[in-house]
């Protein structure tokens, strides 16, 4: 086999075999195929796409390129969830204990944040003592005993995807649905779960800017899951503005606690319940969505859900007292208000700008090796549709930095105030099964 012949075939929009895809992907990963040939291949995929069998084969090649997590020693149907990334997205912190409170095993592997979106691991590490480096044995034992555990991603998961993603970044081939879908799903498949619920976000802070794009990505990922024997459901959710009121690490933990105590904002509560209900049904805890919703709401109102988060924190070495006293979480020394510059309604809040603002305050990192400040973040006092008067505080910036002009400018620019009320979209657009 020769790489040039495979590129030629895709250039003419012909279907590639599993062997040809393996040859290209595994050959590129071990350095036998050069960047220039992989770049040409990626561009042919960008323009000609791939059919569902090719996409499933591409995903499997990514998985084969590295290690896979073996969860076979965990009893029951292991469910995982994945978000395509948003601003203020603390849904994982909410659904892990919520789903585990019904005995459904959640063995979660999560990443760190990069750029304008935060990572679940960073958020949890804002809790004093919380360990995300569990050994494989600890991870499996905790899931068997407590039905939940979360660890940072291991280094050698899907190395082909890592190498190809870096090349896509510099060859303008990121925004290709077959490439995005196989990249995301390969990491989920390699993480070992039996069933997967995907939270595909759409809007100003999301990767997908339109519902059509989000649905196309969701359908492709669900099809990969099915082709590779994983029950997969995608929930398309709204990211027109940041989720909830808090963006940052410790303040997002604080907000997740509120949701699990039944005091959360409606957007986060509704989206978390939808993701958790699908996970519970896939995990066999409930036979239908109505029963699942009823059970989940009861878990929150009875205090079972928040007790489960307390347990998760305790078993992973964190200070469980933060549940009863969130003031124990790291706090920034400075709080700077952002004020409305006119009367009117909050018409839009650009989520990406809020995410970048939070990063500039120290809550996120531009490069992988950058340190982050767990206390830094942004509190949105006003959200879309709220009526404000000139001079009202609409947002607060939390930081330990002294020089924050860039962040102030970014966040102030994220808010658009108009005389008319904005049209509001639903929190959940669609569910693809």
Which parts of this chain interact with ligand URA (CB under 6 A)?
165, 179-180, 183-184, 207
Q: Which residues are catalytic?
A: 82, 161, 168, 183, 187
Output the smallest distance, CB 161 to ligand URA, in A.
7
Q: Helix or strand or coil: residue 287? A: coil
Pairing of strands 231-238, 246-248: unpaired
Output the smallest distance, CB 173 to ligand URA, in A.
10
Query: Residue 142 or residue 183: which is nearer to ligand URA going by CB?
Result: 183
Beta bridge pairs of residue 349: 415
For 150-187, the DSSP string reads: EEEPPTTB-HHHHHHHHHHHHTT-SS-HHHHHHHHHHH
The number of angstroms, rounded, from the C-alpha of 223 to the middle of its chain's C-alpha atoms is 20
Output the smallest distance, CB 200 to ligand URA, in A.
11
Output the smallest distance, CB 332 to ligand URA, in A.
29
Length, in residues, of the chain: 433
For 117-146, the DSSP string reads: B--HHHHHTTSTT------HHHHHHHHHHH
CB neighbours (10 Å) of residue 272?
Answer: 27
Q: Which residue is nearest to ligand URA (CB)?
A: 183
Residue whose entry in the numeric block shows the structure tokens 């809020």: 354
CB 280 within 8 A of CB 293: no
Output the smallest distance, CB 153 to ligand URA, in A.
11
Query: Residue 75 or residue 175: which is nearer to ligand URA going by CB?
Result: 175
CB 218 within 8 A of CB 237: no
What is the C-alpha separation between 336 and 358, in angstroms, rounded? 13
Task: Identify the DSSP state of 20.
Answer: H
CB 37 within 8 A of CB 64: no
Query: Residue 84 or residue 396: which is nearer to ligand URA going by CB?
Result: 84
Query: Residue 161 or residue 255: which is nearer to ligand URA going by CB?
Result: 161
Output the smallest distance, CB 309 to ligand URA, in A.
26
Query: Residue 164 or residue 361: which is nearer to ligand URA going by CB?
Result: 164
Query: Residue 177 or residue 349: which is nearer to ligand URA going by CB?
Result: 177
Return phi, psi of residue 312, to 5°. Answer: -60, -45
What is the C-alpha separation between 55 and 423, in angstroms, rounded? 37
Query: Residue 45 or residue 74: which is nearer to ligand URA going by CB?
Result: 45
406: left (phi over 0), alpha (psi -120 to 50) or beta: alpha
Output the smallest distance, CB 353 to ligand URA, in A.
20
């Amino acid at each position: 086999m020769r790489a040039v012949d495979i590129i030629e075939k895709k250039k003419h929009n012909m279907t590639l075999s599993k062997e040809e895809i393996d040859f290209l992907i595994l050959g590129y990963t071990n350095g036998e195929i050069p960047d220039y040939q992989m770049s040409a291949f990626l561009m042919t995929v960008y323009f000609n796409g791939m059919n569902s069998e090719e996409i499933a084969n591409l995903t499997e090649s990514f998985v084969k390129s590295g290690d896979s997590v073996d969860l076979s020693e965990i009893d029951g149907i292991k469910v995982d969830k994945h978000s395509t990334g948003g601003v203020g997205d603390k849904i994982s912190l909410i659904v892990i204990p919520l789903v585990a409170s019904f005995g459904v095993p959640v063995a979660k592997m999560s990443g760190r944040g990069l750029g304008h979106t935060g990572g679940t691991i960073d958020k949890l590490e804002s809790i004093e003592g919380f360990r995300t480096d569990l050994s494989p044995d600890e991870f499996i034992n905790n899931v068997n005993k407590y039905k939940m555990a979360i660890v940072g991603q291991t280094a050698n998961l899907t190395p082909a995807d890592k190498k190809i993603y870096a090349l896509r970044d510099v060859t303008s081939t990121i925004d290709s649905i077959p490439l995005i879908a196989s990249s995301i799903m390969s990491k989920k498949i390699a993480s070992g779960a039996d069933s997967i619920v995907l939270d595909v976000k759409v809007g100003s802070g999301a990767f997908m800017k339109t519902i059509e794009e989000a649905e196309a990505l969701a359908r492709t990922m669900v099809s990969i899951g099915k082709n590779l024997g994983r029950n997969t459901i995608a929930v398309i959710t709204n990211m027109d503005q940041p989720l909830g009121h808090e963006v940052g690490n410790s303040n997002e933990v604080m907000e997740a606690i509120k949701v699990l105590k039944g005091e959360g904002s409606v957007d986060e509560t509704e989206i978390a319940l939808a993701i958790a209900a699908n996970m519970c049904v896939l995990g066999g805890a409930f036979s239908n969505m109505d029963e699942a919703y009823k059970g989940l709401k009861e878990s929150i109102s009875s205090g079972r859900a928040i007790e489960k988060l307390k347990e998760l924190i305790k078993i992973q070495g964190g200070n469980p007292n933060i549940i009863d006293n969130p003031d124990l979480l790291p706090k920034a020394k400075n709080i700077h208000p952002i004020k409305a510059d006119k009367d009117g309604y909050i018409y839009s809040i650009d989520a990406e700008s809020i995410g970048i603002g939070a990063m500039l305050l120290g809550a996120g990192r531009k490069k992988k090796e950058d340190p982050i400040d767990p206390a830094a973040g942004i509190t949105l006092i006003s959200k879309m549709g709220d009526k404000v008067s000139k001079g009202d505080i609409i947002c607060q910036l939390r930081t330990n930095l002294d020089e924050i002009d860039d962040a102030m400018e970014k966040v102030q620019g994220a808010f658009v105030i108009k005389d008319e009320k904005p049209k509001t979209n639903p929190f959940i657009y669609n569910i693809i099964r």
